[in-house]
Structure 1
Amino acid sequence: MDHWMLNEMIHLLVVTTFCLCECGVLAQPPPPAQTVTVSVNGSAVLATTGAGLFSGNFDWHLNNEEPPAWDNCSINIMKINDTKTIYLASQLSPGHLRIGGSEGDVMIYDIGEHLPCKPGFCLSMDRWQQIVAFSQETDLKLVFGLNCMYGRANKSAQWDKRNSDAFLQYTAQHKLPVYGFEVCNEKQGQVHADVMADSYQDVHEMLVKYWPDVATRPKLIGPDENPNAGFLEEFLPLVADVIDAVTVHIYTGYGLDHNLPAQITTGQYLDKYQSTLAPLAKVINDKAPKAEIWIGETAAAWHSGQMNTTNTFLSGFWYLDALGTAANNNVQAFCRQTLIGGYYELLNRTTRDPNPDFYTGLLWNKLMGTKMLHVTSTVSRSSLRLYAACSAASFQAKTPGSVTVAFINIADTAFSASPASLVHRIDGKENLGTIEYHLIPGDGQMTLRTTQMMLNDKLLELDENNKLPAMDGLVRSGPVLIAPKSYGFVVVPDANADVCT
């Protein structure tokens, strides 16, 4: 499709009616595009995020939990050795693969003497070898959550560490590469902060014992808690000398809330991520300043998400906004719940085909670098939300100083922005070109609750060999036209931002 045809397509998106719900009821035609001025400060870094921000989780949930959400999705039995799953999971590299979830604190490791296992919750060493091999084949940093409730009778009881000790010893002796170990999963209400800190000190001693070389020693990560600044205030000073990354779980909505689809495209709903994360980040920076900040679990809704909502195009408004919010708060890893499993999965549990958020995460990795920049606009964030970064390394290598702006238009209005307004102009450049990545629903009706997504004029789907399509942007000049209820990215190669050169 040439530039004229794309312009005509975008024009049609602006002036035609839009289907704003899954039932097919049409809203009134949106008004003409509103001009917006955008300004990115290219002279100072707002925050620094991780190159592996796009990451994913596997869980332990059994088939009988909210069926069919978790059918054959427990990492204890999931099929992970097929080429399609390995290929698609590898696209998250250099991200993290976290093995966790509530049942991680029920799991028993089948090594040495141990208590009887509950059905489905006994990890054999053969399976452990397979999980590690998968992380190696996909080039993902493996993070594994240890069972901190083993033998613990109450909130103040000490942990029976023998099963985890045997597991860590086996892992070290067999030279299985693991990036990090977590301890406990959302147990801030079941274990006192000082008692949990004792368990972390225990694991630290094991890691030092079995991996004496600090260069190969796995990281100590946690406590994988639901948002609770008070718990972190107590816990972190007791482990600040040994913990490498502090993880929190953030779920904005509730999977059984029937109002969730309507909430996701509201500023009030999206603002919850910043209001939840900011106080936690402050405590982490104050109490454990040497530790990284991680989002250990996150999705648009907890309770396994919501079918036809958190696995559709609609989820992308939350996902891209949450990625931007996390990056602006110096978060180094953003572990999406889940890679496979539940109704918030990035890959369909049956077909392994990507859901829309998978493509959005890929584009984040491809386009957004690790230096976040301050961006403002003349439109309220209740309509248009923007995040800016020095472009990814592949762009910087060609045009140093390149800037990428991620946009989320939650309004029923189209916006038009001049490329020259996206950055402070250098040497009077007025006609900066752009490379644009517009994401819209792929069903042809602008139905937000669809599992299909288009990049510019192309439906995003695997080819006959189960390989990803080319995800190239459209090189243009002239105003950037952002369609209503859409999101995406705009790269300005010639921005010449000082901090990006």
Structure 2
Amino acid sequence: MAKTLLGASLLANDDTMEKSFAGWDPKSSVSVNPKSFIYLTSVDKCYLSYNIEMVEVVGGKFWAPYKDIDSKKSNENLSHDNSNLYKALKPLDLSDKKLRMLASALGSAYVRVSGTWANSIYFQDDDKPKLKKAPKGFENVLTRKEWKGVIDFIKAVDAKLVTSFAISSGTRNKDGIWTPKEATKIANYTHKLGGHIAAAELFNEPNLLEVSAAPKGYNASSFAKDVAVFTKFAREKIPSMLTLGPGCVGEGGALPMVKSALNTEMLLSATPTPKFDVFSYHYYGAVSKRCAKSPKEGGTTLEDALSLEWLDKTDGVAEFYKNLRDKYLPKAPLWISETADSACGGNPWAATFFDTFRFLNQLGSLAKSGVKVVMHNTLCASEYGLLDGETYEPKPNYYAALLWQKLMGEEVYETNLKVKGLRIYAHSLKGSKKGKVLMVINPTSSLHTFDFKTSGMIYVLAPSPYHSDNPYKTMSNGEVSLNGVPLMLKDEKLPELNGTPLKAGRISMLPYAISFVVFEDSLDS
């Protein structure tokens, strides 16, 4: 007899509940012995990281909430002039205690402050009131006070800063080549504040020329010349800063509708040959409903959110970029410096447990693929933010990130467990020399029974409330539970993430749930 667990809640002492799920086979089980897991690779200590958009720092137009969008109006115009797509954001208060508390709880992380707005940012290197209009050759203004807010935030949450620099016409010499004038101002002020830029891309998404702020006629040769100057600047001015690049998006089948005059291969094969310390790329598996009305336009649907085709899409794109990395920068680690469920601010269900399957599957899958860092977009802006942009209340993906950071260590293992409909990953247990963690993602309506050869602890993320007759029906409410207990702030404090003891034996894993099983002493002495 197998027991069906929702963490601490024993839903059935016999097989009553199992029988309620279609296709459950009482004689079938998957044997799990953590001592048989095989070491594959390791990820960065800051593997799970996140973005804060530059537009959040300086204030400006960003993706409007779906409640403010008139669905009857056409959104073919993606410029900031389209008031149906964009909403004015006030500069983010990075000193907010609640925001800092929640960010600190995520532990070691890179915080990337970048995005399209950073490509044309003018750094106002004085303490005068903020300019009402950017100087010629720039579109946006970043003040000392705003950048100090970034540096203070990075220090307060014990993170590492990643950024990019302006490349618009105001940064260029008479020959049209990039100069580090603006980058030097930011680097100097960062140093003056006692901060440090751990890593930087030259600029955001260089293959999207239409929105990049690059000058007219910009091409692969232009990029190569700019990178040569950028690399020299980095080595001389901030020698400990990692250079990231090229940072393209939409390739490898990710966003087939993205048509660009440039691509990663063109950029990396140009002369002089661009070199980076880290090969970076951005990944979105679709365009959100804001910008695409149907899958034919590059969008996706709620019905697809739990499909294996959707969950596995990140694998093919990772393989595409790995091949390019191996060809042009064979010794460089692979980072995703920006990712979420979909471009254009995320879909409505990015704020719900529906997207948690993609979120955690992507982390597990990319770690196995050799990706060293994954930077989620964003911390607290738009639907894909880990936190609500107005209240900073955590969304399901935040709690998923919190649990990942609590349990999943840097060492990545192959389990050789193949179960139809499931995705299964294993890491070392964080803070342990011997422990391992098994993550079982079940995006299906089927129950699956495992036979554990070792006792441990179990943590089950599931919809809240979890209805055993139909757990699917509460997945869109924006709530999540751990071991049957709803996760939410209480008196502005985070709940404890406690596991439930698990004896060796047969356990049935719930449908529409994600289970972490911890084996604290799973290696031979």
Which of residues 368, 382, 385 in structure 2 aligns to 1:328?
368
> 1:149, 1:184 within 8 Å by CA — same for their partners in 2?
no
Amino acid aligned to 2:367? A
1-side partners of 2:125 and 2:488: how far apart?
43
2-side partners of 1:187 and 1:13: how far apart?
57
* Cα shift readout 1:387-408 (whole Å, capped 9, x = no counterpart): 1122222x33xxx2x2211111
2-side partners of 1:122 and 1:297: how far apart?
23
Which of residues 216, 220, 223 in structure 2 aligns to 1:196?
223
* Cα shift readout 1:177-214 (whole Å, capped 9, x = no counterpart): 22122211112243433322322221222233334xx4
- Shifted more, 337-346 versus 181-190: the winner is 181-190
C-alpha change, 1:252 and 1:474, in structure 2 (3 Å) is: same
Which of residues 86, 100, 106 in structure 2 aligns to 1:92?
106
Point out where structure 1 has 5 or more consecutive residues left out of the alignment: 18-28, 421-431
Q: What's 1:178 paired with?
A: 197
Q: What's 1:277 paired with?
A: 318
> 1:405, 1:491 within 8 Å by CA — same for their partners in 2?
yes
Q: What's 2:508 paired with?
A: 481
Q: What's 2:241 paired with?
A: 218
Amino acid aligned to 1:387? Y
Q: What's 1:66 paired with?
A: 63
2-side partners of 1:10 and 1:100: how far apart?
52
Does 2:419 correspond to 1:392?
A: no
Show the 5 A alignment for 1:12-31.
14=17, 30-31=22-23
1-side partners of 2:193 and 2:233: how far apart?
15
Point out where structure 2 has 5 or more consecutive residues left out of the alignment: 67-85, 210-217, 253-261, 295-299
CA RMSD, 1 decimal: 3.1
* Cα shift readout 1:476-498 (whole Å, capped 9, x = no counterpart): 1132321111112111223226x
| Displacement after TM superposition at 1:99 (Å) | 0.8
- Shifted more, 121-130 versus 218-227: the winner is 218-227
| Displacement after TM superposition at 1:173 (Å) | 4.6
2-side partners of 1:273 and 1:13: how far apart?
38
1-side partners of 2:194 and 2:25: how far apart?
59
> 1:129, 1:176 within 8 Å by CA — same for their partners in 2?
no
Q: What's 1:83 paired with?
A: 97
Show the 5 A alignment for 1:268-417.
268-307=309-348, 309-380=349-420, 383-393=421-431, 395-396=432-433, 400=434, 402-417=435-450
Show the 5 A alignment for 1:216-295.
217-228=240-251, 231-236=263-268, 243-256=276-289, 259-295=300-336
| Displacement after TM superposition at 1:163 (Å) | 2.5
| Displacement after TM superposition at 1:160 (Å) | 4.5
Which of residues 474, 489, 497 in structure 2 aligns to 1:471?
497
User: Counterpart of 1:225 in 2: which secondary structure?
Assistant: strand
| Displacement after TM superposition at 1:42 (Å) | 4.0
| Displacement after TM superposition at 1:470 (Å) | 0.8
User: Counterpart of 1:301 in 2: which secondary structure?
Assistant: coil
1-side partners of 2:6 and 2:376: how far apart?
35
> 1:38, 1:378 within 8 Å by CA — same for their partners in 2?
no
TM-score between both structures, scaled by the size of structure 2: 0.79
Q: What's 1:110 paired with?
A: 124
User: Counterpart of 1:221 in 2: which secondary structure?
Assistant: strand
C-alpha change, 1:38 and 1:321, in structure 2 (3 Å) is: farther
| Displacement after TM superposition at 1:106 (Å) | 2.3
Which of residues 16, 32, 35 in structure 1 aligns to 2:24?
32
| Displacement after TM superposition at 1:165 (Å) | 3.1
2-side partners of 1:384 and 1:152: how far apart?
50
Amino acid aligned to 2:313? K
TM-score between both structures, scaled by the size of structure 1: 0.83
**Percent of counterpart pairs with the same letter?**
21
2-side partners of 1:72 and 1:91: how far apart?
29
User: Counterpart of 2:10 in 1: which secondary structure?
Assistant: helix
> 2:6, 2:483 within 8 Å by CA — same for their partners in 1?
no
Does 2:47 correspond to 1:53?
A: yes
> 2:8, 2:483 within 8 Å by CA — same for their partners in 1?
no
1-side partners of 2:343 and 2:14: how far apart?
38
- Shifted more, 444-453 versus 350-359: the winner is 444-453
Q: What's 1:427 paired with?
A: none
Q: What's 1:436 paired with?
A: 458
